[in-house]
């Protein structure tokens, strides 16, 4: 029986796999860009500052595509887990659960929890997963 706990945020996912008495730890790095809009007329004489329009939809669509690739890499890394636990400091864990519900419903049924957890060291992530699965 393989239990997998994933601590994930926008930048990376730490995957702890517990099988029998062995434990493995892997990291999947996302390629999601940080969105920092820039623009403006560049003139300091403009009375109200830069007036150029920044196309948010273009950046958001790119980010959604990058999330999809990130989540597909996580699904490949999970393999054939018996049960999953998702942890993370932001909304990324819940977003991954929604993605599983929509695209991989069989895998989504294996998710036992989606819990908020602050940033942790590798050993803290391992302990969190071991404590959750009581091994």
- CA distance linking residue 131 with residue 23, whole number of Å: 13
CA angle 5, 10, 16 (to 5 degrees): 15
Does residue 55 register a pLDDT over 80? Answer: no
Does residue 53 register a pLDDT over 90? Answer: no
Residues 33-48 pLDDT 10s: 887 666 555 556 656 6
- Average pLDDT of span 46-56: 64
Does residue 25 register a pLDDT over 60? Answer: yes
- CA distance linking residue 38 with residue 106, whole number of Å: 42
Q: Which tops the pLDDT comparison, 59 or 125?
A: 125
pLDDT at 34: 81
Tell me the torsion sign for CA atoms 55, 57, 61, 66.
Answer: positive
CATH architecture of 2-30+55-133: 2-Layer Sandwich (3.30)
Residues 57-94 pLDDT 10s: 888 899 999 999 999 999 999 988 999 999 998 899 99
Within 13 Å, how many C-alpha atoms sit on residue 34's CB side? 3
CA angle 5, 9, 11 (to 5 degrees): 120
């Amino acid at each position: 029986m393989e239990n997998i706990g994933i601590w994930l945020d926008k930048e990376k996912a730490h995957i702890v796999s517990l099988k029998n008495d062995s434990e493995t730890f892997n990291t999947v790095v996302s390629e999601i860009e940080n969105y920092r809009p820039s623009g403006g007329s560049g003139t300091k004489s403009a009375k109200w500052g830069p007036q150029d329009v920044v196309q948010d939809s273009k950046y958001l669509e790119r980010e959604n595509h990058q999330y999809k690739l990130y989540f597909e890499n996580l699904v490949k890394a999970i393999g054939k887990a018996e049960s999953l636990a998702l942890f993370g400091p932001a909304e990324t864990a819940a977003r991954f659960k929604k993605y599983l519900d929509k695209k991989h419903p069989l895998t989504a049924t294996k998710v036992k929890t989606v819990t908020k957890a602050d940033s942790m060291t590798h050993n803290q992530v391992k302990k969190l997963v071991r404590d959750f699965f009581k091994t």
